[in-house]
Amino acid sequence: MAGSTLEIKNLHVSIEGNEILKGVDLTIKGGEFHAIMGPNGTGKSTLASAIMGHPKFEITEGSVLLDGEDVLEMDVDERARAGLFLAMQYPSEISGVTTSDFLRSSINARREEGDEIPLMKFIKEMDEALDYLEIDKNMAQRYLNEGFSGGEKKRNEILQLMLLKPEIAILDEIDSGLDIDALKVVSKGINKLRDENFGCLIITHYQRLLNYITPDAVHVMMQGRVVKSGGPELAQRLEAEGYDWIKEELGIEDETVGQEA
């Protein structure tokens, strides 16, 4: 089988003592694109952050495996080098570190010492990706995310995705704050990576993104769990009808985390 497999089993996650994820099960294989939708505050970003190893979240139960390897035992940088990538909903700003230096360090982190990417090759690859995503070349020399507009930050996340070529990527609201042209460009970048070796988990609120990037599966999160899964038609129904019908179907009154079903 091509590509990697990410298995999330019965994942429970707490922050500062409050349980936010209450048993998430999800498997993403190379070649598959999954979408996660769900109202605000239902645990979508928490799931993404917990998989990547955000320092604030505590895993209280369950497991995350990448090709059978225990991801939760790995440090954040090891997870990335094992093939995971998270495009963050709110990327940090890092003053004094240029986007270009950061990208080069990230690429070299995956390579052996002494086998660093030659500077010219790096510049060529970066320039190609910048062009592909229609990003102003000056951005590479600006400090990482510092003073970037919302849309620029999102494009920068996709720029990193394209250059780092992970096995499994999680994209947390990569479409929020994008104008319609930017949405197309970003989708183009993601679709370029689409092949049997690349798996992707796309967190979004809008069907719009999924018009450009057709998912193989759509999952709905409420109260810290995946409460419904289906095909692309599920996203279309949510867009048209909202979430009330699911809540009714499942007898949920308040969908946010902390409210019991």
Partner 1 sequence: MTVETKLPYDKDYINQFSGDHQEPEWMKELRLQALEQVDKLELPKPDKTKIGKWNFSRFKHTAQGEKISSLTELPPEINDFLDKDNLPENIIIQRNHSVAYAAISQELKDKGVIFTDIFTAIKEHSDLVQRYYMKDAVSIDEHRLTALHAALMNGGVFVYVPKNVEIEDPLQVIFWQEDPEVALFNHVLVVADENSSVTYVENYISHNNEEETVANVVTEVIAQNNARISFGAVDNFASGTTAYNNRRGVAYRDATIDWALGQMNDGNTVSENVTHLIGDNSISNAKTVSVGRGNQSQNFTANIVHFGKNSEGYILQHGVMKDKATSIFNGVGKIEHGASKSNAEQESRVLMLSEKARGDANPILLIDEDDVTAGHAASVGRVDPLQLYYLMSRGITQKEAERLVIHGFLAPVVNQLPIESVKEQLTQVIERKVY
Ligand X SMILES: Nc1ncnc2c1ncn2[C@@H]1O[C@H](COP(=O)(O)OP(=O)(O)OP(=O)(O)O)[C@@H](O)[C@H]1O
Cα–Cα distance measured from residue 218 to residue 28, given in angstroms and rounded to the nearest whole number: 12
Task: Quote the tokens at residue 121.
Answer: 């090759």
28 in Cβ contact with 229 (< 8 Å): no
Give min distance, CB of 95 to ligand X, in A. 23
- In the bound state with ligand X, the residue whose beta carbon lies nearer, of 47 and 129, is 47
Residue 166's Cα: distance from chain center in Å? 11
Give the x/- contact pattern for Mg ion in 187-226, rule: CB under 5 A. Answer: ----------------------------------------
Say whether residue 156 binds Mg ion (CB under 5 A): no
Question: What's the rounded Cα separation, in Å, for the pair 128 and 150?
Answer: 22
Q: Which does 251 bind (CB under 5 to 8 A by kind): Mg ion, ligand X, partner 1, none?
A: none
From 4, 14, 42, 45, residue interacting with Mg ion (rule: CB under 5 A): 45
Give yes or no for residue 206 binding partner 1 (CB under 8 A). no
Q: In sequence order, what DSSP letters do the residues of 193-238 get, joined into one string?
A: H-STT-EEEEE-S-HHHHHHS--SEEEEEETTEEEEEE-HHHHHHH
88-117 binders of ligand X (CB under 6 A): 89
Closest to partner 1 by CB, 14 or 156? 156
> Cβ-count burial of 198 within 10 angstroms (0-12 exposed, 13-18 middle, 19+ buried)?
buried
Residue 145 and residue 96: Cα distance in Å, rounded?
11
**Contacts with Mg ion, 97-136, as mask; x by CB under 5 A:** ----------------------------------------
Paired tokens of 156: 């920068």
Least distance to ligand X, CB of residue 130, Å:
28
Interacting span for ligand X (CB under 6 A) from 33-41, 152-160, 208-216, 238-246: 33-41
Residue ranges in contact with Mg ion by CB under 5 A: 44-45, 89
